Amino acid sequence: MSNKNIMENVKKLRELTGVGFKDCKLALDENNGDIEKSVEFLRKKGIAKASKKMGRSASEGLILVEEKNGDVSVIEINSETDFVAKNENFLKFCKEISKLNFSVNGNLEKLKSLKMADKNKVEDNLINLISKIGEKITLRRSKFLKKENGNNYVYVHSAIEKNIGKIVSVVTLKNCENKEFGLKMAMHVAASNPLAINENGIDKKLIDKELEIITAELENLGKKGEMVEKISKGKINKFISENTLLNQIWIMDPKKTVSDILKEEKKQIEIVDFTRFKVGEGI
Residue 218 lies in a domain: no
Same-domain status, 71 and 160 = yes
Q: How many other C-beta atoms are found inside a 10 Å radius of the C-beta of residue 228?
A: 17
d(CA 272, CA 72): 14
For residue 266, the model assigns a pLDDT of 76
Residue 152 lies in a domain: yes
Residues 214-261 pLDDT 10s: 989 888 888 888 888 889 889 999 999 999 999 999 999 999 999 999
Same-domain status, 74 and 19 = no
Q: CATH number of the domain that 136 lies in?
A: 3.30.479.20
Going by DSSP bridges, is the β-strand pair 270-278/167-174 parallel, antiparallel, or unpaired? antiparallel
Same-domain status, 50 and 74 = no
Residue 256 lies in a domain: no
3-state class of 86 per DSSP? Answer: coil
Q: CATH number of the domain that 19 lies in?
A: 1.10.8.10
Residue 177 lies in a domain: yes
d(CA 218, CA 231): 8
Same-domain status, 136 and 65 = yes
Same-domain status, 46 and 64 = no
Domain that holds residue 90: 60-196+266-278
Same-domain status, 135 and 272 = yes
For residue 57, the model assigns a pLDDT of 41
Mean per-residue pLDDT for 79-88? Answer: 87
Same-domain status, 78 and 173 = yes
Same-domain status, 123 and 144 = yes
Boundary residue ending a domain (18, 38, 55): 55
Same-domain status, 138 and 270 = yes
Of 233 and 151, which is predicted with more confidence?
151
Same-domain status, 77 and 124 = yes
Residue 171 lies in a domain: yes
Q: Which of 132, 130, 112 is nearest to 122 (CA)?
A: 112
For residue 49, the model assigns a pLDDT of 56
Residue 174 lies in a domain: yes
Q: How many other C-beta atoms are found inside a 10 Å radius of the C-beta of residue 255?
A: 7
Q: Domain total for the chain?
A: 2
Same-domain status, 43 and 83 = no
For residue 4, the model assigns a pLDDT of 76
Is residue 45 scored above 50 in pLDDT? Answer: yes
The pTM of this model reads 0.75
Non-local (6+) Cβ contacts of 210 within 8 A are 236, 239
Extended beta strands in 69-163, E state? 71-79, 138-145, 151-157
For residue 171, the model assigns a pLDDT of 97
